[in-house]
Structure 1
Amino acid sequence: MTLDILKGSGGLRAVKVLSNGKRRFDPVEKDRLIDAAMKPGVSVARLALAHGVNANQLRNWVKLRRDRQAQGGLTVVAGQETSAFVPVVAVLPISRQPDMPARPSSAGMRVIASLPNGVRLELEDVDERALSAMIEVLGRCNVPAG
């Protein structure tokens, strides 16, 4: 029986029906139906309905086929084998303006901060960047008076 897959010329031929009602389909016709369902723009639900198969069953067959192809590392696209790996292109980093030369920090700089909740913070030999970051963080804190 030749099966015009996309036009739905009839149901998918069952080669065996089990005692619980499950059907086993002709593997060649089933493969052609899965191939047709994997084509872009094809409605899997319409294709399944036209061939007497549950749409979820056909989706499951398609998923299993894709998983099997992904496991193999190669997929077949229009008769060509393509690698499952994407080529990586190395790009040079964007050139940036050189950082401003660091000003010499004051040796022996000491900062003491007493917070309203009684916490006392002492910093010694701190560079200006770290001190600036610390002040910014402390400024964002809403510390209740203790």
Structure 2
Amino acid sequence: MAQTLTSLLVHIVFSTKHRVSIITPEIEPDLFNYIGGILKNNSSPLLAAGGTSDHVHLLVSQSKNLALSVLIQDVKKDSSSWIKTKGDVFRDFHWQDGYGAFSISQSEVPGVKLYIANQKEHHRKQTFREELIQLLEEYGIEYDERYLWSGIV
């Protein structure tokens, strides 16, 4: 084939360090816009963003030229540095070390966008812990619960 053609759609989930509830409704839109800019600069457009005060969900069309781990590292590092400039309450802000990433097909995009948009309502019924385990099981990802919550008290 003369060219490389890809569709790399990824649903990414990660939380604040120790699941600290620090992402306020006031900062959330700017945070997602900033993350969207980081992703755009990495040729990986943000298709949807949502979450709660302690974790985020991102739907990303990942660049074929960048490893997912590098992309997420850039998002976390740059957004963490940015949010620390937004006031004293954020000066100790950190993201957790790990993340969940789930590949989806084009046909799943509308459903995943809706799921991400409804995060606040969703978490009135289900904890982040329950949600992450459900996602891991849905996608057939093996995990050891002893290590799943390291750094996420």
Q: Same fold, TM exceeding 0.5? A: no
Determine which structure has more spread, i.e. the larger CA radius of gyration. Answer: 1
Q: Write 1 or 2 for the structure with the bigger share of helix.
A: 2
